[in-house]
Amino acid sequence: MLSPLSWWNDLFFNLPIAYGFGYLCSLWQPEWLLGGTLVGYWLSNLIGIVMMQFGATDVVEKGKKPRNVKRDLLIGLASSTAYTLAIIGLVQFHIVDVSAIFPIS
């Protein structure tokens, strides 16, 4: 259920967290809602992918060698950023419709 690469994780976890983050940002400046939501979505994906990566590394490697935390974080950062950019591209090219969440005025 918590896999950051599944649609239900986005629907039930990442998007509500991202929208909440965007809403909090919009309390300071109303036009920050969309930008804050994008940053919140990226952060929620980043945390989820890094947690999944650490868990998978623990299971697969079983202590064979010391963990390179810097490398793991960079890989998590890169994969989360790529995933978030892919979602933004889907929205930008109107493949995914978000007009119900962010009405255009």
The pLDDT profile of the chain, 105 residues, written as one tens digit per residue, is 666 667 778 888 888 999 999 999 999 999 999 899 989 988 988 888 888 887 877 777 776 677 788 888 888 888 888 988 898 898 889 888 877 776 665
SS3 content of the chain, % helix, strand, coil (to 5): 75, 0, 25
pLDDT of residue 2: 63
Q: For every residue of 69-87, which 3-state class applies, written as one string? A: HHHHHHHHHHHHHHHHHHH
pLDDT of residue 20: 95
pLDDT of residue 104: 63
CB 76 within 8 A of CB 99: no
Give the 3-state secondary structure of residue 46.
helix
